[in-house]
């Protein structure tokens, strides 16, 4: 029972050490806090695809083979899909304006 209470006290203390400065910083300087948190979020979200690309390039034998074998065909397919959607939208817009 003493071990459980000790662990709960440790968790509460560590939570306080993390939460109190964040609360204090957010209540004193909201714009700076928002920029810092947004920057950390962007860095974390950028880290994930970069790590995935590094791992995939290691498996493919370098970035060159990965680029030619997987990334470039995916970009071509995405460009074709976007061009097709833009053409369909243009045709629909032209038809809507013509037959109105």
Q: Which tens digit of pLDDT belongs to each residue from 61-82?
A: 888 888 888 889 999 999 999 9
Rounded average pLDDT over 10-26? 90
Residue 36 CB contacts under 8 Å (≥ 6 apart), including other chains: 25
Cβ contact 13:6 at 8 Å: no
In the prediction, which pLDDT does 79 show?
97
Residues 71/63, Cβ–Cβ less than 8 Å:
no
Long-range contacts of 23-29 (CB under 8 A, 24+ apart): none
Torsions phi, psi of 4, nearest 5?
A: -65, -45
Q: What is the structure's pLDDT at 83?
A: 97
């Amino acid at each position: 029972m003493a071990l459980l209470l000790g662990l709960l006290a440790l968790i509460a203390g560590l939570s306080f050490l993390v939460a109190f400065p964040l609360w204090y910083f957010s209540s004193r300087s909201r714009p700076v806090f928002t920029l810092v948190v947004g920057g950390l979020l962007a860095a974390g979200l950028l880290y994930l695809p970069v790590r995935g690309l590094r791992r995939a390039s290691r498996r493919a034998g370098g970035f060159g083979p990965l680029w030619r074998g997987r990334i470039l065909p995916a970009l071509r397919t995405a460009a074709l899909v976007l061009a097709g959607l833009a053409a369909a939208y243009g045709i629909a817009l032209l038809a809507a304006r013509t037959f109105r």
